[in-house]
Amino acid sequence: MPPATRRSVQAPRPRPGRSPVNEQKYAEIVAVAGRLFAEKGFAGTSLTDIAVEVGVLKGSLYHYITSKEDLLAEVVRIGQLGQSENLQLVAHFDGEPLEQLVAFAYGHVRLNATPERLERGNVFLRDGENLQPARREAFIARRDEYERFLRSVVVAGQRAGLLDPEADPRMASFGVLGVVNSFSRWYKPDGSLTAVQIAREFAAFALSAVRLREGDAEGRFDLVDRVVAECERFISQNDLLLDLQNTG
């Protein structure tokens, strides 16, 4: 599939009592805020900057938001959607730890490879301290839950005799996350490697790092490619990130 040639506006969480027109404008404001926070930082971005980009007066923003910090929280929330969608994807392979490990590594890249999600993930890393403590702790808790889920997959694979029993599950999960997170620092949607290619390579790397291969005649990508095909089917059938259909 060709790389993305447009930037989509991912819808924020619907808010009770808001008309579809207001929700569309709110989504536009959040999208602009996410881009400016990524480019200039939270402190370096004013509400005036956002208003100018959106094409409204600064005072008009308060019809849609209550504070710049609220915008930051919504930007970060959308940036974490890839994690929750990846957990859905991995759950599709329930009871199959090897397939779950491959799907986790593959999906982490595949479901975060839009410019918006790359930007918003980096916003949290750089500007998360500007969130109110309770909000920041909630986002950190979701991040930690994500890592613990991966750790549980490693443990299940060890108990099934499929993954290296000498590997420390916590360190193994940190290692896999370190690898799959690294793409956000250098991946370019219009670069020479597509998101699918990177995700496939990282999935194979994660699997080979901890898999027991005694008497296994399978090649490096045999299992990976079977899981990747099923992941793509699941993503398509469950409408995970419709804007991702052009990023592969």
Q: Mark whether 149 and 163 lie in a shared domain.
A: yes
Q: Which residues, in sequence order, are CB contacts of 18 under 8 Å at separation 6+? A: 26
Q: Can you give the C-alpha Rg of the chain in angstroms?
A: 20
Least confident interval from 7-21, 83-97, 172-186: 7-21
Q: Mark whether 124 and 54 lie in a shared domain.
A: no
Q: Is the pLDDT of residue 145 over 90?
A: yes
Distance CA 52, CA 179 (A): 38
Q: Mark whether 48 and 146 lie in a shared domain.
A: no
On whether residue 196 sits in a domain, the answer given is yes
On whether residue 3 sits in a domain, the answer given is no
Q: Mark whether 58 and 95 lie in a shared domain.
A: no
203: enclosing H helix or E strand: helix 195-210
Compute, in degrees rounded to 10, the torsion defined by CA atoms 236, 193, 203, 79. Answer: -60
pTM of the model: 0.83
φ and ψ of 211, to 5 deg: -80, 140
Q: Mark whether 115 and 184 lie in a shared domain.
A: yes
Mean pLDDT value across residues 126-134: 92
Nearest C-alpha neighbor of 199 from the set 82, 90, 106? 106
Distance CA 88, CA 91 (A): 5
Task: Assign residue 36 the CATH number of its domain.
Answer: 1.10.10.60
pLDDT value at residue 242 = 52
Residue linked to tokens 């994500």: 146
Task: Assign residue 203 the CATH number of its domain.
Answer: 1.10.357.10
Q: Which domain holds residue 64?
A: 20-76
Q: Mark whether 210 and 153 lie in a shared domain.
A: yes
Q: Mark whether 155 and 56 lie in a shared domain.
A: no
Bigger pLDDT: 52 or 5?
Answer: 52
Mean pLDDT score across all residues of the chain: 87
